[in-house]
Amino acid sequence: MKYYSTNNKNQFVSFETAVMQGLAEDGGLFMPEYFPSMDSNFIESLEKYSFQEIAFRISEKFIEDEISESNLSDIISNSITFPAPLILIGEKLYVLELFHGPTLAFKDFGARFMAKTMGYFVAKRSIQLNILVATSGDTGSAVAYGFYDTPGINVFILYPKGKVSLIQEKQLTTLDKNITALEIDGTFDDCQRLVKTAFVDKELNKKLNLTSANSINISRLLPQAFYYFEAYKQIKDKKLHSIFSVPSGNLGNLTAGLIAKKIGLPIFKFIGAVNSNKVFAEFLRTGNFVPRSSIQTLSNAMDVGNPSNLVRIREMYSDILRDMQNDIYSESYDDIQTRQGIKEVYEKFNYIIDPHGSVGYLALRDYTRFSQEFNGIVLETAHPAKFKDVVEEELKINVEIPERLASCLNKEKRTVELSSKYEDLREYLMKFL
């Protein structure tokens, strides 16, 4: 399997190169040269396979012989170490809980798989790798914990000052060793712009051997497809059409779901649920993509005004709008509605949902009106304790903080403050390394 840049379909690289570079030299995102088909017998008998076995069967299609079966099996067994349970909360209404990893967010799946994969290639090459990653909340902590103390790899996490929750900030700023948190005076879009600019800076790349850990990196994206198969495996009545409502920001989670569909998973419809940052919903309605500065919301991991993975979605559908519309619906919800959703889910189903999951629930509710003809699956991308203040304010209850989250709250914050100017980031990296 080879990979090409979305900016140039005529030049191909290996999976290893795509992973280690993160972003193509021309600034494009890597895409597989084709989407392999999963055997229909495999999909029809998913119940027979463990989560790890499903992950192995999918990943080997995209990696082939670049990683041996035994090494790939080790990567998966050391990264997919926690479940993705599908919880039935109402009549044919499910919540896919993706917060059972070390940082209580769905991004643990991708970050850990990517860390183990990159660690394998770094050891193979005997090199030093430097990772730049922009975060609007949960990505930073997932990457930090996934790569912590990995030999040969340094990680620099760029996050927007004052625009992540206290708990999220504590998670991504309290590690030492090979993890450095860079507090950027700007928005997530500024952080993402800085990272992208660094990747196309040839002199910097040559000296520092840079790569990315955002969902622009194919090894972060691929493992997110695993849990769509794991979710489908757990659906009770597979005769009904299944609709997945995906809280969406940079569109990596949605893109992974579309990959799962492309390779054979029978998903009827995706809902790209967005908050007040609604450029994707507007694009699907009009066909015009108009990026803009992000707006700060309660569902901060979705605060993206220029989603990177849209270029991948458009590539997958040959930029044919009607085909995208056939598979994807999108709607936006503001903070007032998000709060109402948290309250509604608790009162109707006795389930505590976080702000991101609330947006996903609202979009599913409004699209299906809970029709009995569908299985509705809401992706719950973060534990509600990560947004304790908002959830408790709405529900008037105490949300218990899991120990692995509480343990970081009393640790010392370690950050380097930088402006949103690329020159300042470049100067810092050159001096640091």
- Could you tell me if 294 and 187 are in contact, meaning their C-beta atoms sit under 8 angstroms apart? yes
**Rg of the chain, C-alpha, whole Å:** 20
Asked about 107 being catalytic, the answer comes back as yes
| Closest by CA position to 390, among listed 333, 331, 340, 332 | 340
- Structure tokens belonging to residue 274: 């967005």
CA distance 314 to 89: 34
DSSP H helices, 275-399, are 279-286, 310-316, 321-327, 335-349, 355-368, 388-395
| Closest by CA position to 398, among listed 352, 333, 358 | 352
* Integer angstrom CA distances of residue 88 from 93, 96, 148, 292: 6, 9, 35, 37
Cα–Cα–Cα angle for 362, 302, 289, rounded to 5 degrees: 95
CA distance 247 to 214: 17
- Structure tokens belonging to residue 153: 């790899």
CA distance 352 to 299: 15
Q: Which amino acid would we find at residue 272?
A: G
- Could you tell me if 301 and 381 are in contact, meaning their C-beta atoms sit under 8 angstroms apart? yes
Q: Which of 92, 107, 196, 269 does the annotation list as catalytic?
A: 107
- Could you tell me if 99 and 381 are in contact, meaning their C-beta atoms sit under 8 angstroms apart? yes
User: Residue 134: in which H helix or E strand, if any?
Assistant: strand 129-134
- Could you tell me if 335 and 276 are in contact, meaning their C-beta atoms sit under 8 angstroms apart? yes
Contacts of 39 (CB under 8 A, 6+ apart): 264
- Could you tell me if 358 and 299 are in contact, meaning their C-beta atoms sit under 8 angstroms apart? yes
Catalytic residues: 107
